[in-house]
Amino acid sequence: MKRYRRPTLRGVLLLLAGLAGVGIGVVFALPVPVLLGAAVLAAVIADFAALAHHTRHWNSNLPIEPVFAPNPAMAGQTVTLNHHLGAHPEIAADLTQELPAELEPSAADLGYAFRARRRGRYPLRKVLADKLAVFGCGRAHAEFPTPAQLVVWPEIMFLEFHTSRGTGLEDEGQAGVPVPKSDDITLREYRAGDALHRVHWRSTARRGELMSRAEEPARELNARVELRFGQDATAAEVELAVSLVGSLVYTLGESGYQVALGKGADWAVDGWRQLLDRLAVLAPEAPLPAAHGQPPALGLAVTVACGAGVGDAELSAELSADRLTVLVGGPENPPAGWVAVSAHATLAEAGAALAAALAESGVGR
């Protein structure tokens, strides 16, 4: 932590003037210069003492907790920065927060609302405290390190679609994809300690002994969502492809799927929030962050590809065999069965095309 209190140029000049007045008055036995010089000295000392009192809590124990709302945020979303200051809310007016250069402006007043322009993970630098004395005779400054960070997910949307083909499963979720049933039950003999609300009274009456409901594990639905970046993929193509994958991860995760996210040979199986955290920092030339595990052999399979080279014949045969493939940009005439999305399309337009393709495909079901 860096901290200092020091006199300003005004304070130094006033201090020298006061000392000069007292000195002249003493040498020439003039009471007026002595009184004026003493008054100036007293004012400078009092001003600096008041500054020291106001900043007495500026130390490493000061609880400054930066809070972003929301966090994580989506690219393009407005984010508000506030600080929890514990028992010292009065110092809020003295603080400013340094922000990463990607989050303009570079410094923001507390409570400032700004727009997270692009996805990423942005650690905060430090909180600056600065206070000028009432009469300008001194200045205090301190820098407090802040370990907080803002995670900006790609822009995503919920994909609204309804299947037109039979899935072989009994229920469909809010996005039209099948979801596990939570009320599948089997019966077993009552055991001491079973809650009364779990007693199946109809079976108890029929069998003549207490029977309890035992929930079966919900059927597991799997999905593989893969990103492929071809050569010379533009920034617009990359961001739209990442947003489409993020939207699919979000939709399927909310609908009860176990989602595996892949890039090349790297795969990660996790909750949809954790997968979106990975997408926040994913770069086309880098491996998938925190990759682990293997994708499921069965289930819904979707690949989102962008850039030159992703539509060649060999790759076309590989991707068209068992999955739905969405091509962002790339060749003008995509392989048969692929969904083509313009690199200049909005996320709403691209998401609608993906949702329509999913509704018709029944891939992996």
Q: Where are the alpha helices (DSSP H) in 255-343?
A: 272-281, 313-320
Q: Where are the alpha helices (DSSP H) in the chain?
A: 9-27, 31-54, 201-207, 235-254, 272-281, 313-320, 347-361
Q: Which of 158-172, 224-238, 349-363 has the highest mean pLDDT?
A: 224-238
Q: Which residues contact 158 (CB under 8 A, 6 or more apart)?
A: 175, 247, 250, 251, 254
pLDDT at position 168, please?
37
Is the pLDDT higher at 296 or at 248? 248
Residue 255 has pLDDT above 80, yes or no: yes
Name the pTM for this structure.
0.73
Mean pLDDT over the full length of the chain: 82
Q: Which of 75-84, 95-104, 105-114, 268-277 has the highest mean pLDDT?
A: 268-277
pLDDT at position 300, please?
87
Determine which of 218-232, 269-283, 312-326 has the lowest per-residue pLDDT on average: 312-326
Across the range 267-277, mean pLDDT stands at 94
pLDDT at position 203, please?
78
Residue 230 has pLDDT above 70, yes or no: yes
For residues 344 and 349, give the distance between their C-alpha atoms in angstroms, rounded to a whole number. Answer: 10
Q: First CA to last CA across the chain, in angstroms? A: 58
For residues 183 and 354, give the distance between their C-alpha atoms in angstroms, rounded to a whole number. Answer: 31
Residue 213 has pLDDT above 50, yes or no: yes
Residue 92 has pLDDT above 60, yes or no: yes
Quick one: 221-361 is in which CATH superfamily? von Willebrand factor, type A domain (3.40.50.410)
List Cβ<8 Å contacts ≥24 apart for 309-314: 309/230, 309/231, 310/228, 310/229, 310/230, 311/335, 311/338
pLDDT at position 46, please?
97
State which amino acid sits at residue 5. Answer: R
pLDDT at position 119, please?
94
For residues 266 and 293, give the distance between their C-alpha atoms in angstroms, rounded to a whole number. Answer: 8
Tokens of 166: 């039979």
So what's the architecture of 65-153 in CATH?
Sandwich (2.60)
A 10 A CB-CB count for 150 gives 23
Determine which of 6-15, 99-108, 292-301 has the lowest per-residue pLDDT on average: 99-108
Across the range 219-241, mean pLDDT stands at 88
Tokens of 344: 């200049």
CA distances from 60 to 5, 48, 81 (A): 15, 22, 21
pLDDT at position 50, please?
96
Across the range 330-359, mean pLDDT stands at 84
Band the pLDDT of 114: cuts 50, 70, 90.
confident
Residue 356 has pLDDT above 50, yes or no: yes
For residues 218 and 216, give the distance between their C-alpha atoms in angstroms, rounded to a whole number. Answer: 6
Q: Which of 107-116, 153-162, 233-242 has the highest mean pLDDT?
A: 233-242
The β-bridge relationship of strands 73-74 and 78-84 is: unpaired
Residue 107 has pLDDT above 60, yes or no: no
Across the range 198-221, mean pLDDT stands at 73
